Amino acid sequence: MPTTRTLVVGSRGSRLALSQTELVLAALRTAHARLRVRLLEIRTAGDRRQDVSLAQLGGLGVFVKELERALLAGRIDLAVHSLKDMPTEETDGLVVAAVAAREDARDALVSRGRLRLADLPSGTRVGTGSLRRAVQVRALRPDLEVIDIRGNVDTRIRKVDRGEVDAVVLAVAGLTRLGLLDQAAEVLPLEDFLPAPGQGALAIQARAADLEVLHLLEPIDHRETRLATTAERAFLRRLEGGCRLPNAALGIIEADKLRLRGLLGDPEGTRLVRDEIEGPATEAEALGVALAERLLRQAAEQSLTGVSP
């Protein structure tokens, strides 16, 4: 369905957000050679308030709400988000119309002297704004000091360069998209360090009633990424109903089978519960819920504070 419209695409203004949006636009141009697009940068609450933690700002949604308002008001025709930033419940009138093919979902360590996590001296200051990352660092290295920091990828790396912290944990996807993966001392293995639900995936959101745009987005919706992240976000949605614990999840699809790994931990990182589940990829949502319920039971059995199965 060719369009005579010039599509207005909304994006956050950070270098990473713009890089991610350009990846989506390139995929759209490949699918629709004559497509005309215009970019509109939108500053979000998460971008404006770098002085407080994401949890204090309200957690999921702080990088999303202004873009959603622009969509609903008709100022933009689609918005590009990091999927891990999006609330698990759809906003009325909007839909995630496509999930682009996922980049590497793992985390990486950037450190002074390019030391690996296992080799960092006791007392090393590791910066992260993510409770999920913090608890996994503490679980692996309780002798390290975890420092809460905010800022984009470039800012966090500069904090290491300036000695404000000795290391930071960042998403491989962000480093790769900015051409900075060579800054990493190591990519953290999934056996030790699970990502946030949706990490590495890009979501393209549109108005549910805009059938023309929904049709244009169909070719860039990546089936395997969509199914894997559906399981991860179903896992997260179930936890939001009865759990205030740090969590992580990653789905991997092979031969139409979905293997979903998950984790819950106490805020101090002294105890973690892990489990995994496998089943047909077409049952992604049910698998996500089932894994969350299994981990909630295990967390309750181990008396992790903040659990109500």
In single-letter form, the type of residue at position 73 comes to A
Return the number of other C-beta atoms located less than 10 Å from residue 109's C-beta.
Answer: 22
Residue 131: name the closest of 238, 268, 300, 243 by CA: 268
221 is known as an active-site residue: no
CB neighbours (10 Å) of residue 226?
20
Q: Give backbone dihedrals phi and psi of 108, rounded to 5 degrees, phi first.
A: -135, 155
Selection from 181, 188, 86 nearest residue 136 by Cα: 188
Query: Alpha-carbon distance 124 to 161, whole Å?
Result: 14
Using the 8-state DSSP alphabet, how is residue 308 labeled?
A: -
Type of residue at 67:
L
- Exactly one of 47, 51, 85, 256 is catalytic; which is it? 85
What b-and-e string marks burial along 60-69, b requiring 16 or more CB atoms within 10 Å of the CB? bbbbbebbbe
End-to-end CA distance of the chain: 47
Show which residues are catalytic: 85
